[in-house]
Amino acid sequence: GCGRRAAGGGGAAAGGAGWWALRSRDDRTDGKGAPPPKARRWTIGVQADLSGPGKEVGQAQERGVRLAVEAFNSRADKPFTLDVKVSDDRGDKTRALAAARVLTADPDVLGIIGPSHDYTGQEALPAYDEALLPVVTVSAGLNLLVNPVQKQGRSVLQACPIHAFNGMHIAYHAQAVHRPSRPGLLQERTDDPYSWQFVLGAKFGFQQGGVLPHPRVIPSGAKQLERVVGEMVDAGIDAYVHAGLLPSAVRAAKALDALGFTGPRYAGQHVLGDRFPRDAGRAAEGWTVGAPAADPTSRKEAAAFLAAHRARYGAAAPVWYAGEAYDVTLFLAQQVEKAYGKAGRRPERTTLAPLLRKAVHQGVMGGYSFDENGNLKGVGTFLHRVEDGRYRSLGAAPATPAKKAGG
């Protein structure tokens, strides 16, 4: 299969759109009639944290979108020219809905890449559900963003695994490579939905392999972390899985290092980034971090993307998720172009999400396909091991559990 990579109120928005339509019909310039209509723009929206705590990932995604649009617009045979419109939610839940409506209320926006964060996405759902334009996220893995039971996220596509699947595939890798018999699972509750979903998936993944994990929970702020990690080591854990955020992962790494723990150590997507090896130093060595971001420098298919990124943004390697944002932007553009070719006119944007959910796309970072609800098919978790202060790509996590010992 080509699934990646297994291989507030409706009135305001509707009223705003209606006002725009009336205005476009009724404006007069000379009292004799309407002027020629302005040419419609074909716009890709970006909703991301561009200036808040998650700006590194948000800015990377914006760069990926801009590079994809430049690639599309450079084609001699392009049937239209794409624009980019950005809305910065600053990673702030209280700004998310308004940031989304900047895009959804613009009738020229055909789809949105983003949001870059779980909770801004959750808060923006009313705007997405009013507009029903396609919203494709490469990093927001909260399970509630696509919720057919509550009829939420009806046009959202999660081009990343939900957090529970991320934990499950990390557990599969631990068993395939290290075969632990007593893996420790630490649920650190600063970001409670993320941590319990991740733990749930990891626990399920280990149990599928016949392994019973040793779970512990610590409260928000990672209070008593060092003491609890010490107790886990004393209890005989032979692997460690961290379900928590970056600051507590740094502390856990240092605590395990001080205790002389040499077993495999894992963390999920909220730990991936340059700060973990920098802040944990020597204690980060050997950790494996699983996230829905592949390393573009390890993929020959991404050579043109890397060259374009260097030319546009300088020599530094792309930050995580830039390549994925590049892929899904071209995926959206491809579906808009197909719909335009079939109908001979600009497609109605509410028709696009169902087309994307049925389509398969091969991008430079891998393949993407979705189920009818917009969930990613396949694995989508990539593993990165810290070696000499840098990440080395281990490729995609296993899709299935290792066979039980003796099985």
Listed by start position, the domains of the chain span: 10-161+298-369, 164-291+382-396
> Do 243 and 215 touch, CB atoms closer than 8 A?
no
- In tens, the pLDDT along 157-189 reads 999 999 999 999 999 999 999 999 999 999 999
Question: Is residue 150 very low, low, confident or very high in pLDDT (cuts 50, 70, 90)?
Answer: confident
Would you say residue 9 has pLDDT above 90? Answer: no
**CA 386 → CA 168, 265, 396, distances in Å?**
21, 11, 16
d(CA 103, CA 124): 11
Give the model confidence (pLDDT) of 17-66 as tens digits: 332 333 333 333 445 566 666 678 999 999 999 999 999 999 999 999 99
Q: Do 164-291+382-396 and 10-161+298-369 fall under one CATH topology?
A: yes
What do you get for the CA distance between the two ends of the chain, in Å?
26
Over the stretch 199-236, which tens digit does the pLDDT of each residue have?
999 999 999 999 999 999 999 999 999 999 999 999 99
Fold (topology level) of 164-291+382-396: Rossmann fold (3.40.50)
Rounded-to-integer distance, Cα 356 and Cα 353, Å: 5
Residue 402: the pLDDT is: 79
What is residue 7's predicted lDDT score, i.e. its pLDDT? 38
**Given this structure, which CATH class describes domain 10-161+298-369?**
alpha beta
On the CB side of 199, CA atoms within 13 Å amount to 22
- Convert 45-68 to b/e letters by CB count within 10 Å (16 or more is b): bbbbbbebebbebbbbbbbbbbbb
What is this structure's pTM?
0.90
Local confidence band at 141 (pLDDT 50, 70, 90 cut-offs): very high
Over the range 315-346, which residues count as b (16 or more CB within 10 Å of their CB) and which as e?
A: eeebbbbbbbbbbbbbbbbebbbebeeeeeee
- pLDDT bracket for residue 113 (50, 70, 90): very high
DSSP state of 377: P
- Segment 337-351 mean pLDDT: 95
Q: What are phi and psi of 4, to 5 degrees?
A: -60, 120
Cα separation, 278 vs 369, whole angstroms: 35
Average pLDDT over residues 84-88: 98
pLDDT of residue 19: 29
Please report the pLDDT score of residue 260 as a whole number.
Answer: 98
pLDDT for position 17: 35
| Residue appearing with tokens 């893996």 | 183
What is the DSSP secondary-structure string of 186-222?
EEEGGGHHHHHHHHHHHHHHHHHTT---EEEEE-TTT
Residue with more model confidence, 402 or 360: 360
